[in-house]
Amino acid sequence: MVLASSEIEDKDVGVVRADNHDIDKHIAGYTDLIKDAAQADQIEHEMGVRQALRIHKKAVFWSMALSSALIMEGYDVVLIASFYGHPAFLKKFGVPGPEGKNIIPAAWQSGLGNGSSAGGIIGLLINGWASEKFGPRRTFLVAMVLMIAAIFVPVFAQSLPVLVFGEVLCGIPWGIFQTLTTAYASEVCPIALRHYLTAYINACWGFGILLSSGVVRACLNIESQWAFKIPFCIQWVWPPLLITLIWFAPESPFWLVRQERYADAENSVRRLTSAEYFSEEDIKRNVAMKIHTTELEKNMSAGASYLDMFKGVDRRRTEISLMVFAAQLLSGQNLIADILTFAIFHSFQQAGMAVQASYDLNLALNAMFVVGTFVSWGLLTRFGRRDLYLAGLATMAAVLLCIGGMGFTNSTAAKWVSGALLIFLNLAYNSTLGPVCYTLVAEISSTRLRAKTIALSRVAYQLMNIICGIIVPRQLSPAEWNWGPKSGLFWAGSAILTFVYTWFRIPETRNRSYGELDLLFEHRVPAWRFAKTKVDQFNLDERRGPAAETPMLEEKPDLKEDVAHAEYIRK
């Protein structure tokens, strides 16, 4: 899009304004549509949380329903790591360690952890293509069926290589769920609820992780192989329930608009809102706003492929999204993920704590995923996403430095303090970086490239997870580097470097519509100026005449794109 001279002047005084002339040229009657879109956008910006809940309570339900798949994934992903200190699992798969006790070698820990990450990368790339081609709902249902079949492998595995293979297979549908739910939540809810429902995804992870910890703890005293087979079998409970529920879910209206299925988009908005508070005119205006946003993005970038993510204005959005997810691990969160190994081998076993007590500690630690997410809801209401990311990184760097310092003493008190600090570290992470990551990635990506951007961002996370899955077990294992709490110093340095990146590159997206964010990125506004820059995405001053009602939406005809839009807005 070429900037008009007035835009260049406005940019100097902190205002960016859209130039919609190019869109006018190929969409007849676009003036009428844009007025309805502007009205819908104003209503959404002025909508409070209570009003949004009254109108969009169905959208909240369906968003939470899809996100519940991540309860299953949170349960599954951490399950295998919970077995590294499990007596029955070690008896079956372990080898003698330096102290005469069975251990899972660091190389196999890396293989088991990275197996699901490798499968997740495959699933993420599939989702980026499939959810845009077939829609998130159908992609979700197919992935659930694949999940049922994949679970058989770890349940009946008799060796570590087969178990690794099972983790890879399970990782594929997990990868599909990881980002599909984020994109859906961001597209069905208004601005006032967007941060709650995207951040809620982190709580779903927490529920799953907490459930996994409880199940493993409950099976700890079973002496047979069922001590670790039962937790694997429980994974079969989720898919049938979720398939039945999501079969009736409405499709994303943004996705339907991108497919030019305008009548279906209207029906989807109708199913996601309450007729008592949201009239037929409101529905038409809401879809008009989605059409305007889609057209704005088409005018900025011609394509919507993986390659287009690295072209033009989308290159910056992709880079930031990749780093937002990678920052979760660069912050030192990966040290928390291996807390059970840390607790058993380095701190609490040496401090005289029994294996059962170590698993009790793990329950307390994992509860922070849920508690922290609820804390983040309050913080997101009062503070910006960028501010919380910076605060989270600063806090984690400070705590990691303290943990690292504890590694230079062998006193029992120091080991207990290290454990307490790790719990606080998890709370800090899950109050800031953990949930805010999903909100940021959903808002930074353009609507046309959202599925692919979020998927590729999660791939960056998985690649970092593979790297950390190689490094961290060796840092903590007594048979390898044996750093123990001193590992905190390494990850404190990583968190500090990530803080510097965040300061210069990650923008503030709070209270912005997707159209506003499109223009801020297109005009290359620096990250630290996003919050204060004013945006006029409709530029109604250049249009005269009363606002016309947007007509009923029609199915996409078998005509060229410009004719399809003309039919949509024709009286």
Q: What is the pLDDT of residues 499-521, one digit of tens each?
A: 999 999 999 999 999 999 999 99
Band the pLDDT of 108: cuts 50, 70, 90.
Answer: confident
Helices 69-82/160-188 angle, 10° precision: 150
Instruction: Give the per-residue pLDDT at 24.
Output: 56
Band the pLDDT of 362: cuts 50, 70, 90.
Answer: low
* pLDDT > 60? residue 563: no
Percent residues over pLDDT 90 in the chain? 43
Positive or negative CA dihedral for 253, 257, 263, 266?
A: positive
Q: What is the mean pLDDT of the chain?
A: 82
Instruction: Give the per-residue pLDDT at 29.
Output: 59
Do residues 541 and 10 make contact, with C-beta atoms less than 8 angstroms apart? no
What digits encode the pLDDT tens for the residues 448-495? 889 899 999 989 988 888 888 788 878 877 777 888 778 889 999 999
Band the pLDDT of 360: cuts 50, 70, 90.
Answer: low
Own/partner long-range contacts of 196-199 (Cβ < 8 Å, ≥24 apart) = 196/377, 196/380, 197/60, 197/63, 197/64, 197/67, 198/435, 198/438, 198/439, 198/442, 199/373, 199/376, 199/377, 199/380, 199/435, 199/436, 199/438, 199/439
Q: Which residue has the higher pLDDT, 49 or 109?
A: 49
Identity of residue 59? A
Q: Mean pLDDT across the stretch 405-421? A: 77
Instruction: Give the per-residue pLDDT at 140.
Output: 94
Strand positions, DSSP E, 479-551:
534-536
Q: Mean pLDDT across the stretch 73-93? A: 79
Do residues 484 and 346 make contact, with C-beta atoms less than 8 angstroms apart? yes
Residues in contact with 6: Cβ distance below 8 Å, sequence separation at least 6, in sequence order: 17
What digits encode the pLDDT tens for the residues 163-177? 999 989 999 998 898
Instruction: Name the residue with tokens 């698993």.
Output: 359
Q: Mean pLDDT across the stretch 312-340? A: 85
Which domains does the chain carry? 51-253+315-505 (1.20.1250.20)
Q: Mean pLDDT across the stretch 328-337? A: 83
Residues in contact with 246: Cβ distance below 8 Å, sequence separation at least 6, in sequence order: 65, 66, 137, 140, 141, 144
Instruction: Give the per-residue pLDDT at 551.
Output: 37
Residue closest to 487 by CA, chosen among 355, 328, 346 = 346
Instruction: Give the per-residue pLDDT at 349.
Output: 47
Start-to-end C-alpha separation, the chain: 29
